Amino acid sequence: MSTVAEILTSLKVLFTEYAGKSGNKETLSKRELAEMLHKEVPGTEDMSKAEIKDFFDLLDEDGDGEVDFKEFVNFAVTLNMLSEME
Ligand SMILES: [Ca+2]
């Protein structure tokens, strides 16, 4: 079983890999998020631009047009809680 610290570390590695591709290396842009989804999440290859935008807006809680690590972790935690409720 993974500890919270281990989970956070792997999330940080994933986040940094994509956030560092262009622009601000501390945040995910919409393009970087789309790339992450396409490469890391099976079944998202066919997502439309509008669907990506909706998903991005969901993550971007403060609406500043970038997803920072805190917003990314919030999302991952929510997703994990949802999957445990199934
Ligand atoms: Ca934000």
23: CA distance to ligand 1 center in Å? 14
Give 42 Cα–ligand 1 centroid separation in angstroms.
25
Q: Which residue has the tokens 């669907």?
A: 51
Task: Tell me 23's DSSP state.
Answer: S
Please tell me the number of Cα atoms within 13 Å of 22 on its side-chain side: 6
Number of domains in the chain: 1
The pLDDT tens digits of the residues spanning 29-65 come to: 999 999 999 998 888 988 999 999 999 999 999 999 9
Instruction: Output the pTM of the full model.
Output: 0.83
Domain hosting residue 33, numbered range: 4-85
What pLDDT is recorded for position 81? 79
CA of 33 to the centre of ligand 1 (A): 12
Is residue 71 within 8 A of residue 62, CB to CB? The reply is yes
Tell me the CATH number at 12.
1.10.238.10
Ion ligand 1 residues within 5 Å by Cβ: 60, 62, 64
pLDDT attached to residue 27: 97
Checking if the pLDDT of 1 tops 80, the result is no
Residue 2: per-residue pLDDT: 76
pLDDT at 86: 62
Q: Nearest 5°: phi and psi at 68?
A: -90, 175
pLDDT tens across 4-29, in order?
Answer: 889 889 999 999 999 999 999 999 99
Could you give the CA distance from residue 46 to residue 9 in angstroms, rounded to a whole number? 29
